[in-house]
Amino acid sequence: MKSFAVRGGYIVKGPKDVVSDSYVIVEGTAIREITPQLPEGITEVLGGPDDIVMPGLVNTHTHAAMTLFRGYADDLPLMTWLQDYIFPAEARFVDKEFVYLGTLLAAWEMTRSGTTAFCDGYFFEDQVGRAAKEVGIRAWLGEGILQFPSPSLQDPARTIEHSRKFIGRWLDDPLVRPTVFPHAVYTCSTELLQQAYALAEEFDLVFQIHLSETAAEVEQIREKFGLTPVRLLESLGCLSGRTLAAHCVHLDDEEIALLARTGVSVAHNAESNMKLASGIAPVPAMIAAGVNVTVGTDGCASNNNLDMISELSTVAKLHKVSTMDPTALDDCTALALATENAARALKFMGGRIEPGRPADIITLDGRAPNLVPIYNPVSHVVYAANGSNVRDVVIDGRIVVKDFTSLTVDEEALVRECRKIRKRIAGD
């Protein structure tokens, strides 16, 4: 069984657990030990004495293939952006090749910037799984469930059956895990939401959904059902520890308490919410109430990048200024959102560097000018670093990025194919 080492001047085992000048020993797909001395017989060593070694980051909400819509429709409110631009573009251009190439591009971007796992919901998700496996990134994937035709399913009456078949194809994969993904309460009937949740229960899967993203969504659902989106899901029996709710921007105190009581995890998408002017999610209040908050980037059409390190910096600073309290969300709490908390939301053993845990590890170049000097490595990750500082990436014991170079992506060929799709969309 192959063994190698990852060396760092700082080993961030977890947000509040840092050891100095040590080696993380990887054996097979797992972490074997953390030791101050390099064991005999190990000749391959990633990282170096100045580097920060830490758990890989987990992006809990994105639509990977939408990298190919990056910059396509900017500076618009959510519903205008979605209904007038994105839905029509998806209907016209999204097919298997689009999703495969768009996900390859996303996985390349994510791994190069330190993300080792992501949770995705879109169309033709088999192609997302195919691309994820080729690049070597972990993925939790959900085929979009909607009450109207989608690019991958023209007959919405078959949407649950369609998802069931998708689940069956990926249940036993070691790197790609299926989820159930009804898009939102405003795009799914109550019956469809209940059927989707029953499907998640049947296979013991994550149930991911957009929830209370905008004030308009909340008002629309209140007018139709006399309930907010959160309370509607509660009435349907769709809130539990398997529920991963994306956004949760517009919540009242009782809804926050309800999410905490039912064990729901929240995927906070600060930059997307800022760009679409959806609002600021009450993250400090959710954390104080005991909600398991995580971080996602959302898709590149509304962010417009997949850099989780930069996203963490935005998250930490946004909630300081929104509460006018510099202690509202500290560096350790921010890092936990994208490591330990994210792993908990996905029922995953990762998120920390410890013996026996999956070997999902990244190194940050401690000699980069923006990371010199280092007093507190966790602070540097959250406030000083960016994705371009990621030097090495290990996922499931496999070296995916080494010395800033992707080992699993034919970069020139991928860029060439993505530019062809851009020409088709732009009409060049």
Distances in Å between the Cα of 78 and the Cα atoms of 85, 95, 252, 256, 273 are: 10, 23, 21, 23, 9
Q: What is the pLDDT of residue 87?
A: 87
**pLDDT above 70 as % of the chain:** 100
Q: What is the pLDDT of residue 76?
A: 87
Same domain, 29 and 62: no
Q: CA 40, CA 392: separation in Å to the nearest integer?
A: 22
Q: Is residue 421 part of a domain?
A: no
Same domain, 384 and 340: no
CATH at 379: 2.30.40.10
- Let me know: does 360 contact 350? Beta carbons within 8 Å: yes
User: Which has the closest alpha carbon to 233: 192, 284, 279, 205?
Assistant: 192
What is the tens place of the pLDDT at every residue in 63-74?
Answer: 999 999 999 989
Same domain, 148 and 35: no
Whether the pLDDT of residue 393 is over 90: the answer is: yes
How, if at all, do strands 361-364 and 52-55 pair?
Answer: antiparallel
- Let me know: does 262 contact 231? Beta carbons within 8 Å: no
Helix 411-426 crosses helix 96-112 at what angle (to 10 degrees)?
A: 130
Q: Report the Cα 313 to chain-centroid distance in Å.
A: 15
Rounded CA Rg of the chain = 21
Whether the pLDDT of residue 155 is over 90: the answer is: yes
Q: Is residue 413 part of a domain?
A: no
Q: CA 300, CA 67: separation in Å to the nearest integer?
A: 5
User: Which has the closest alpha carbon to 286: 332, 241, 319?
Assistant: 319
Q: What is the pLDDT of residue 230?
A: 98
Same domain, 49 and 12: yes
Q: Which residues pair with 398 in a beta bridge?
A: 395
Whether the pLDDT of residue 164 is over 80: the answer is: yes
Q: CA 21, CA 84: separation in Å to the nearest integer?
A: 54
Burial of 295-306, coded b for 16+ CB within 10 Å and e otherwise, reads bbbbbbbbbbbb
Q: CA 340, CA 208: separation in Å to the nearest integer?
A: 18
Same domain, 220 and 111: yes
Structural domain boundaries enclosing 39: 3-55+351-406
Q: What is the pLDDT of residue 362?
A: 98
Q: Is residue 426 part of a domain?
A: no
Rounded to 5°, the CA angle 384-18-297 comes to: 45
What is the tens place of the pLDDT at every residue in 5-49?
Answer: 999 999 999 999 999 999 999 999 999 999 999 999 999 999 999
CATH at 307: 3.20.20.140
Same domain, 105 and 142: yes
Rounded to 5°, the CA angle 245-301-251 comes to: 30
Same domain, 282 and 307: yes
Q: How many domains does the structure of the chain reveal?
A: 2
Question: CA dihedral in degrees (2, 395, 95, 146; nearest 10)?
Answer: 130
How, if at all, do strands 398-402 and 405-406 pair?
Answer: antiparallel
Same domain, 114 and 199: yes
Q: Is residue 396 part of a domain?
A: yes
Q: What is the pLDDT of residue 268?
A: 98
- Let me know: does 185 contact 229? Beta carbons within 8 Å: yes
Q: CA 369, CA 261: separation in Å to the nearest integer?
A: 45
User: Which has the closest alpha carbon to 185: 253, 139, 241, 231?
Assistant: 231
Which stretches within 236-302 are classed as H helix?
253-262, 270-275, 283-289
DSSP helix/strand/coil, 10: strand
Q: What is the pLDDT of residue 390?
A: 98
Token pair listed for 425: 């969309």
Same domain, 360 and 283: no
Q: Report the Cα 375 to chain-centroid distance in Å.
A: 29
Whether the pLDDT of residue 89 is over 80: the answer is: yes
Whether the pLDDT of residue 353 is over 90: the answer is: yes
Q: What is the pLDDT of residue 415?
A: 96
Find tokens 């998640």 and name the residue.
200
Q: What is the pLDDT of residue 242?
A: 98
Question: CA dihedral in degrees (93, 97, 98, 100; nearest 10)?
Answer: 160
Q: Is residue 112 part of a domain?
A: yes
Same domain, 332 and 389: no
Q: Name the average pLDDT for the chain.
A: 97
Q: Is residue 221 part of a domain?
A: yes
Compute the average pLDDT of residues 350-376: 98
Burial of 394-411, coded b for 16+ CB within 10 Å and e otherwise, reads bbbbbbbbeeeebebbee
Whether the pLDDT of residue 291 is over 80: the answer is: yes
Q: CA 316, CA 299: separation in Å to the nearest integer?
A: 20
Q: What is the pLDDT of residue 427?
A: 82
Q: What is the pLDDT of residue 120?
A: 98
What is the tens place of the pLDDT at every residue in 98-123?
Answer: 999 999 999 999 999 999 999 999 99
Q: Is residue 420 part of a domain?
A: no
The residue ranges of DSSP E strands in 232-334, in sequence order, are 243-247, 265-268, 292-295
Whether the pLDDT of residue 2 is over 90: the answer is: no
Q: Is residue 258 part of a domain?
A: yes
Task: Please report how many Cα atoms fall inside a 13 Å half-sphere around the Cα of residue 192, on the Cβ side.
Answer: 23
DSSP helix/strand/coil, 18: strand
Same domain, 19 and 146: no
Q: What is the pLDDT of residue 1?
A: 75
Whether the pLDDT of residue 315 is over 80: the answer is: yes
Give the pTM: 0.97
Whether the pLDDT of residue 428 is over 90: the answer is: no
Q: How confident is the model at residue 79 (pLDDT cuts 50, 70, 90)?
A: confident
Same domain, 18 and 114: no
